[in-house]
């Protein structure tokens, strides 16, 4: 299957972990990212608000509070 290369900026720790990961793990990650990217681009007809709402719901489900999110956004 033909592929395309895309560069993604990561925080230093994530980059280090990726660089040190075995090839099998890197391959799984590439497959997951490819699937998720396709999913995101297929949803491009959704409004930004709908996408942000979905991200918020998922973040809340993962335990991220509104206060933590605001702190993260201020720190950037």
User: Residue 44's pLDDT is what?
Assistant: 66
**Would you state the structure tokens that stand for residue 13, as one six-digit string?**
């720790």
Residue 71 has a pLDDT of: 77
Report pLDDT for 21: 93
Quote the pLDDT of residue 20.
94
What is the block-wise mean pLDDT of the chain (76 residues), using blocks of 10 residues?
84 92 92 85 72 82 80 69
> Could you tell me the sign of the dihedral formed by the alpha carbons of 23, 26, 30, 36, in that order?
positive
The pTM score is 0.52
CA distance 75 to 23: 33
């Amino acid at each position: 299957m033909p592929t395309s290369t895309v560069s993604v900026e990561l925080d230093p720790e994530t980059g280090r972990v990726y660089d040190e990961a075995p090839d099998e793990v890197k391959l799984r990650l590439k497959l997951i990212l490819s699937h998720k990217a396709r999913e995101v681009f297929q949803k491009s007809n959704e409004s930004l608000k709908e996408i942000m709402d979905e991200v918020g719901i998922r973040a809340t489900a993962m335990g991220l509070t509104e206060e933590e999110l605001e702190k993260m956004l201020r720190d950037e």
